[in-house]
Amino acid sequence: MHKKLLILFFLLSFLLWPCIALADGFEQLRCNSADIKTVQARFVQKKSMKILAKPLISDGRFFYASPDSFRWEYLKPLRSVVLSGKGVTKRYIMSGGKMVEDKSGGVKAMGIVLGEITNWMSGKFDQNPSFKTALHEGRNTLITLTPVEQNMAGMIEKIEISVVRKTMVVKSVKIIEDKNTATVINFSNVEMNKGINASIFQDVE
Amino acid sequence: MKSLRLLFLTVLLLASCSTLPVIHPAAQQPEAKFPACPVCPSPFLKAPHRLVHIIEVRVAGKAQGAVIGVTLIHPSAQFVSCAIMTAEGITLFEAEATPGLKIIRALPPFDSRDFARNMIEDIKLIFLAPEGQVAVKGILADGAAICRWQTTSAEFVDVVAGPQETFEITRYAASGRRQRRIKLKHGADNFYQHIELTAQDAFDYSLLMTLVESEPVESEPQTNNRGLQDNEKKCGR
């Protein structure tokens, strides 16, 4: 009996080892995120810029399913949906009372940006070589991403991701474009590993 | 000699305006649907305002995409500031005209100076009274009140008061070729609830703008904008 318990202990230790041995910084975040299969949340986005007296507020919802399916949906003021899966990203907008595919050409770039946020939501913070990452522990964990490429630096000054330390759930994302311009996305009702119907990633409506 | 030159100029002017709609003097039209309007139809802003619109881009009648547009206007200073952003909050374009054009940010495909200049010109056409003088005032064949402005750059701008508090602004080149047509539909608070801009340019396109929010800007002395609009409504049908 003691022998069996000892074997079980060793087996568990072996399975947990990466999380225990590398229980610092991004490795821990990666380790904790390994079990994330789905994420869904509501969000409120606040866009601040010099031309606006008060932030422009957008509401939406977000779905992710491992490994690469996501749905970003804005409910107001501009109803739009970005669907991504198997390397294909499409965006739809409300036009004349129905959702039509956006053919403006910026979809690919938007897919990259949203895909990046999806990575963060699922715990992958330091996998894009375009950003230098730093982690600051506090009441919440704050991850700062600074662009390393010059062309990106002209668009984004830095990105701050706040993660609830206890649950490792992304609380907010702040994209700072310059000293006057920033977008803050606050997530709420975050649910992890709850079943999501496959149609969420396929059907626009 | 002088009269010959005048005749030549008149013929030239008439030829150049050959495609412009014919304007009839209001007093000579007994069938006019409203009394002669003492002032020109003017849906333009009188006081500083900030407006946020959803802008849907259409080419050949088909929706191509949609963005959010923010416009800040100070009419007395002819100051225009604008920004275009995606639903996701990425700023694609930001510029201001004070009146000199200053591009603050321009990401592809909005990174040409022509785009910036045309955008500022379109915003001015929608929200600001034309710069220039009223050349003709009267009514169209259907009885709608119209004022034709000749701008400082020799273009023509027709401002027509339509039915049910709608306005139409049309800009023509000096040759008479139509360049822009803007339809305004009055909403709860102002004329900018629904804007439809049709452009005949290098390629034809249209913008459908739906107002999200509008607010007066307090950084300049306020005038009674609503009062002026009410006065102008009497010039509609």
pTM summary value:
0.80
Residue with tokens 């495609």: B19
- B89 and A175 within 8 Å at the Cβ level: the answer is yes
Residue with tokens 């994330």: A36
pLDDT in tens, chain B (237 residues): 455 554 444 444 444 445 799 998 876 555 545 445 567 898 999 999 999 999 999 988 888 889 999 999 999 998 999 999 988 888 889 999 987 899 998 887 788 888 999 999 999 999 999 999 999 999 999 889 999 999 988 999 999 998 888 899 999 999 999 999 999 987 767 789 999 999 987 778 999 999 999 999 976 533 333 322 333 444 433
Parallel, antiparallel, or unpaired for β A98-101 and A88-95? Answer: antiparallel
Which ipTM score applies to this complex? 0.77
Mutate one of B51, B85, B90, B218 to test the A interface: name it (highest A CB count within 10 A): B90
Query: Are B214 and B190 contacting, i.e. CB atoms less than 8 angstroms apart?
Result: yes
Give me the phi and psi of B3, to 5 degrees please.
-70, -30
Residue with tokens 């225990």: A20
Instruction: Report how far apart, in Å, the C-alpha atoms of A109 and of each of A113, A184, B36, B167 are.
Output: 6, 19, 55, 38
Q: At CB < 8 Å, which residues of chain A contact B?
A: 45, 47, 49, 51-53, 56, 58, 72, 74, 77-78, 80, 93-96, 100, 102-106, 110, 113-114, 155, 175, 177, 181, 183, 185
How many angstroms separate the CA atoms of A116 and A125, rounded?
9
Nearest to A74 among B72, B82, B87 (CB): B87
Q: Is B61 an interface residue toward A (CB < 8 Å)?
A: no
Nearest to A53 among B50, B57, B89 (CB): B50
- A80 and B66 within 8 Å at the Cβ level: the answer is yes
Residue with tokens 């053919």: A103
Point out which residues pair with B110 in neighbouring strands. none
Task: Write out chain B residues lying below 8 Å of A152, CB-based.
Answer: none
What are the tokens at A85? 């899966």
Selection from B159, B183, B158, B195 nearest residue B173 by Cα: B158
Q: Is B7 an interface residue toward A (CB < 8 Å)?
A: no
| A160: CB partners within 8 A, 6+ apart | A142, A143, A144, A145, A173, A174, A176
Please give the residue of chain B at the shortest CA–CA distance from A152. Answer: B107
Selection from B71, B86, B186 nearest residue A78 by Cα: B86
Q: What distance in Å separates residue B173's CA from the closest CA in chain A?
A: 29
